[in-house]
Amino acid sequence: MNSMDPLATIENASWLEDADGREEAVSALESGRVLYIPDLGFPVEEQETRFFDDDALRLSSKNVSYDPSTNEVRGLGSTGGTTDEDRAVLGRMMARYAQFCRDLCASLLGDYAKRLKIARTSFRPVEVEGRKPRTVGSDDTLLHVDSFSSRPVAGRRILRMFTNVSPVGKPRVWNVGEPFEDLARRFVPLMRSPLPGEQAVLRLLYVTKSYRTLYDHYMLRLHDDMKGDSEYQRTVRQKRVELAAGATWMCFTDQVSHAALSGQYLFEQTFYCDVADMARPEHSPLKVLESLIQRPLV
């Protein structure tokens, strides 16, 4: 693997039974690289192909989401052409993708996969390029690291798996930015601390679903400050990568600075991982931020 390349490409399936290959995959992930498997796609079944038409779904948000713990499908409009049968087929399709991701993690990461907690699945049928975001903070074509404003993670890692299912062979195009340690050193000294009582008020008003820790505060500031700094977006070093149709990739999106520039029809699966369960916890954003701020953040 080329250490200068943000993609750690897996060209064959030797990792299925190779302990050294699994260790290398974990090391690449925790070091802030994107594991890229160019020839591993997700099979779409015949009854699901209708969702790959621009007019097939009426959405209430940019993505359709699925909760594997409840089988609930969200993101569909309450009126329009989407039927109860469509909702059921979508749910089964996304449940299959969630299982696909579980199986891939078990094969690719071995025992490490047992430490992952599965979260939401999403289907992203909307073209990224040309989409007008509501705010700068919601513009994913800008470099950012992931942080959830309403769902604090309290230091847990955000691991995401993606599969490009474009029926016309269109790549998903990303920019990948500088290492997390570099961007943290750049932005953290300029950040404000939370106001007294701010986190308790956010929870009381149900702005957040749980208490926003100091870690969540600083990660959300990092997400927003990166996107809001046009000079940074213009001048920081970044590499354009094309993620092919029929390919799968995964990375810690709380660590990998990334921007989605174009592409349509994508599956995504989120997992959480406790920092204590990492092979190298010192690589986590939590430990990097704590070393810079010089205090515990959770």
| CATH number of the domain encompassing residue 236 | 2.60.120
**Average confidence (pLDDT) over 49-67:** 87
Q: Is residue 210 part of a domain?
A: yes
Whether the per-residue pLDDT at 2 is higher than 50: the answer is: no
Query: What percent of the chain lies above the pLDDT cut of 70?
Result: 91
Q: Is residue 200 part of a domain?
A: yes
Dump the DSSP string for 231-281: HHHHHS--EEEEE-TT-EEEEETTTS-EEEEE---EEEEEEEE-GGGSS-G
Which has more pLDDT, 68 or 205?
68
pLDDT for the residue numbered 57: 84
Q: Is residue 234 part of a domain?
A: yes
**Average confidence (pLDDT) over 268-290:** 98
Note whether 212 and 203 are within 8 A (CB).
yes
Q: Is residue 2 part of a domain?
A: no
Three-class SS of residue 129? coil
**Tokens, residue 149:** 């404003």
Q: Which domain holds residue 37?
A: 7-289
Q: How many domains does the chain have?
A: 1
Q: Is residue 294 part of a domain?
A: no
pLDDT for the residue numbered 61: 80
Q: What is the pLDDT of residues 80-95, one digit of tens each?
A: 567 888 889 999 999 9
Distance, CA of 185 to CA of 104 (rounded, Å): 34
Q: Is residue 1 part of a domain?
A: no
Question: Which stretches of 107-221 are assigned E, i.e. beta strand?
Answer: 116-124, 157-164, 172-176
Cα distances from 286 to residues 158, 214, 231, in angstroms, run 12, 10, 26
Note whether 184 and 283 are within 8 A (CB).
no
Provide the whole-model pTM. Answer: 0.92
Q: Is residue 89 part of a domain?
A: yes
Q: Is residue 236 part of a domain?
A: yes
Distance, CA of 215 to CA of 57 (rounded, Å): 37
Distance, CA of 13 to CA of 105 (rounded, Å): 13
- Model confidence at 1, pLDDT cuts 50, 70, 90, reads very low
Three-class DSSP labels, 176-198? ECCCHHHHHHHHHHHCCCCCCCH
Please, which residues have CB within 8 angstroms of residue 166's CB and are 6 or more apart in sequence? 172, 245, 263, 264, 265, 266
CA neighbours within 13 Å on the CB side: how many for 25?
30
Q: What is the pLDDT of residues 8-33, one digit of tens each?
A: 999 865 556 677 889 999 999 999 99
Helix axes 84-109, 19-30, angle to 10 degrees: 110
> Which string of b and e fits 267-285 if b means at least 16 CB within 10 Å?
bbbbbebebeebeeeebbb
